[in-house]
Amino acid sequence: MKHPVVAIVRYEKPMESVRRAIDLSRGLQHLSPGSRVFIKPNIVFWTKEVRFPKWGVITTSRVVEDMVILLKERGFDHITIGEGSVLTKPKYPETPAHAFETLGYNVLKKRYGIRCINFHERPYEKVDLGEGITLNFNSDILHSDFVVNIPVLKTHSQVVVTLGIKNLKGALDIRSRQICHSADPVKDLNYMIARLPKAFPPSFTILDGIYTSERGPGFDAEVTRSNLLVASSDLLSVDMVGAKVLGYETSQVPHLVHAARDRGRPTDLSDVEIVGEAVESVSSHHEYSFPYTEDGRLPIGMERMGIQGLSYWKYDLTLCTYCSSLTRVILPAIARVWKGKAWDDVEVLTGKTMKPGKGKKKTILFGKCIYQANRDNPHIREVIAVKGCPPSSKQIAGAFHKAGIPVDTSSIEKMDKIPGSYMRKYEGRPEFEETHFTVS
């Protein structure tokens, strides 16, 4: 029995590098020209408010364009590009439309006759994944003949790496994404992610590592220009090799362990044929977890500031994408108002399963899920509820003000402007090219 083939290619030139990745991995050789092909990039988040942080966060337009051209060369005329980005206003279609325009997808649409769709505006349908798990997937991608999966090569603060399998989560509706962040200790986020490929047609995955990032998946990641592409028609194999490139054995990535077990596959790459570059020659360790104090009370940076009287407990797997994005905004807002005087023994609980610490005077229950789990907890002295799903900026600011932490309301209300500040450190550096996110 032939081993799955995974190609590792250094990105050097437009077209040539992607073509080499396809040829070495033999990724499209079994695809007939009449097939309906669906390209799924990773546009994890978008905002119209600032020049969006692109490097290491979202798939480059360079690789997307190259893939469209190479598919057209091979006679594929039915090509769709689609994504369901995380948005502060999920039902606001102007933001995804702005993303497609800015990234040049509309140019590809006019030039090559492809379709571009926003999942949030399209129908979903239920898929039974077994073991009592039913999730809603975008119908367009489900009914394509073949999926070209183009995620970014990056680590993830909750699930270690976010590669081909994890990128499929973007095809779920919002409610199903929330369900994936289950409070079930067995059927947790890693378990759910591992089952996603069961719903999809055959695929070819190319991990876009022109820019790689650690502590992703969002705009506060640390980005490196890596110039790598990792490609295969075997989704699990490409993810296992991608994890190795990022410095992790498969055994260190729980959702890949689940996926390998489901398929009866070893986790040591012994059944994978790697072609092109040797994985050892391109591997570089990328951190995935944000550093917190040993007891998980505060991020290390906030502890070093001397912040006292606050326990903002470290996130867990049950914290969904929307509340996670808000946390990335709130923590800096808290740090900015620290004046050296201890706050009134406040704690913040997030996700679905956290329990209050001992003796805390005030407990902020951040989000509908944790509020429902703890609203009647007898160990909480004073409940400060933030019930939204996700919470509004007004709810968040009001809760912290009530707890005696005077966060700047405007910094939360204008969260769409914040991502730009994280990317300023890359602007003007020649290795971070804007042209990789445009189509000329």
Q: Is the pLDDT of residue 257 over 60?
A: yes
Q: Is the pLDDT of residue 408 over 70?
A: yes
Q: Answer whether the bond into residue 90 is a cis peptide, omega within 30°.
A: no
Domain 5-288: state its class.
alpha beta
CB 149 within 8 A of CB 206: yes
Q: Is the pLDDT of residue 421 over 90?
A: no
Q: Is the pLDDT of residue 31 over 90?
A: no
Among 334, 243, 330, 322, CA closest to 283:
243
From residue 237, give the alpha-carbon distance in Å to each of 233, 240, 431.
8, 5, 29
CB 325 within 8 A of CB 339: no
- pLDDT tens digits along 345-359: 999 999 999 999 888
Question: Which residues lie across from 117 on neighbouring strands?
Answer: 82
Among 208, 198, 209, CA closest to 236:
198
CB 117 within 8 A of CB 81: yes
CB 434 within 8 A of CB 62: no
- pLDDT tens digits along 372-389: 999 999 999 999 999 888
Among 175, 186, 158, CA closest to 369:
175
Q: Work out the mean pLDDT of the chain and round it to a whole number.
A: 92
Residue 327: predicted pLDDT = 87
Among 47, 52, 120, CA closest to 83:
120
Longest Cα–Cα distance of the chain, Å, equals 68
Residue 289: predicted pLDDT = 93
Compute how many other C-beta atoms are within 10 angstroms of the C-beta atom of residue 394.
12
Burial 149-162 (b: 16+ CB within 10 A, else e): bbbbbbbbbbbbbb
Residue 85: predicted pLDDT = 84
Residue located via tokens 């600011």:
397
Q: Residue 103, Cα to own-chain centre: how many angstroms? A: 18
d(CA 66, CA 78): 16
d(CA 18, CA 254): 29
Q: Please report, rounded to a whole number, the percentage of residues in the chain having pLDDT higher than 90.
A: 77
326 falls in which pLDDT band (50, 70, 90)? Answer: confident
Interacting residues of 377 by C-beta distance below 8 A, sequence separation 6+: 355, 356
- E runs forming strands in 357-409: 362-366, 383-386
Instruction: Give CA torsion, residues 110, 138, 180, 302, to 10 deg.
Output: 20
Q: Is the pLDDT of residue 13 over 80?
A: yes
**Dihedral class, residue 306 (left if φ above 0, else alpha if ψ from -120 to 50, else beta):** left
d(CA 425, CA 430): 12
- pLDDT tens digits along 38-83: 999 999 888 887 776 588 889 999 999 999 999 999 999 999 999 9
- pLDDT tens digits along 130-186: 999 999 999 999 999 999 999 999 999 999 999 999 999 999 999 999 999 999 999
Residue 238: predicted pLDDT = 98
Take residue 199 and report the two structure tokens written for it. Answer: 């719903």
| Sign of the torsion angle spanned by Cα atoms 296, 300, 305, 306 | positive
Radius of gyration of the chain (CA): 22
Q: Residue 287, Cα to own-chain centre: how many angstroms? A: 15
In this structure, what are the phi and psi dihedrals at residue 62, rounded to the nearest 5 degrees? -60, -50
250 falls in which pLDDT band (50, 70, 90)? Answer: very high
Domain assignments of the chain as residue spans, ordered by start: 5-288, 300-420
CB 181 within 8 A of CB 156: no
Residue 88: predicted pLDDT = 62
Q: Is the pLDDT of residue 322 over 90?
A: no
From residue 205, give the alpha-carbon distance in Å to each of 181, 257, 260, 290, 394.
24, 19, 17, 28, 41
Residue 90: predicted pLDDT = 60
Residue 46: predicted pLDDT = 83
